[in-house]
Amino acid sequence: MEVARKEDLKENEEKISLLIKKYNINLEKLEKEQIKLGKNLDTKDKINFDLIGRIAGIENVFFKNQIISAIVVINKNFELIEQEYFSDKIRFPYIPGFRAYRELPCMIEAFNKLDEKPDLVFIRGHGILHPRGLGIASHFALTVNVPVIGIAESLLIGETEEDSIFLDVKLAGKILKTKEGANPIYISPGNKISVSSALKMTKKFIKEPHKFPEPLRLAKRYAKEIRKELFKS
């Protein structure tokens, strides 16, 4: 099993190397940009999250060389306020740690189509729990200047202790089991929200028996509906 894993890792590294050459990507430049942007993040609460009225979720789905970003906005009573989407050609390959460069442009376009901007956004992906401190949730948060929570299904980085995740002894995220028999989710602040508030708001918008916060669940459902409509898939 260990030999097979090493072979898989080597194969993945070779694929990524080919993609970097094919698309002429300067990863070192992008890494420096991520580190620089990450220094602008603030993981303190900038608003009173108990008073927010519009909560959004963004999900991305793919079909061949196309990406669809869907955003759904609900109120605190889980009622639908608005939903929008944007579809475009994929212009950047999938490279672990650099998802934002592939998906962020489409997400921003979908967000900008909203009539009323949300007070808080859930994104499937990491916030500050990222090798250079700038996961897709944090990158999006800086771009649109709205508090964002990252919700992921696996860890890229960090040390776990019970339900907490640490980066260099600093609390950076939480582990939450939301559904019996399912793996936990990993919660991290994107920007303008604390770890404790990110956990609190995630719990608040979990609707049993579902695993993910309701804005994310609805966004994924909407994204799949749009994909089926556009591509008959």
Structure tokens at 210: 């579902």
Instruction: Check residue 41 and give its pLDDT.
Output: 98
Q: What is the DSSP letter of 68?
A: E
Q: Report the C-alpha gap between 233 and 226 in whole angstroms.
A: 10
DSSP 171: E
Q: How far is CA 193 from CA 48, 64, 232, in A?
A: 10, 35, 39
> Residue 83 corresponds to which tokens in the numbers above?
């939903």
pLDDT of residue 10: 62
Domains annotated on the chain, with CATH:
2-231 (3.30.2170.10)
pTM: 0.93
Rg (CA), the chain: 18
Helix axes 136-144, 27-38, angle to 10 degrees: 60
Q: What is the pLDDT of residue 8?
A: 55
Classify the C-alpha dihedral 92-98-99-104 as positive or negative: negative
Per-residue confidence (pLDDT) for residue 124, from 0 to 100: 97
Question: 3-class DSSP state for residue 141?
Answer: helix
Mean pLDDT by 10 residues, the chain (233 residues): 50 86 94 97 97 98 97 97 98 94 98 97 98 97 98 96 96 96 96 98 96 98 97 76
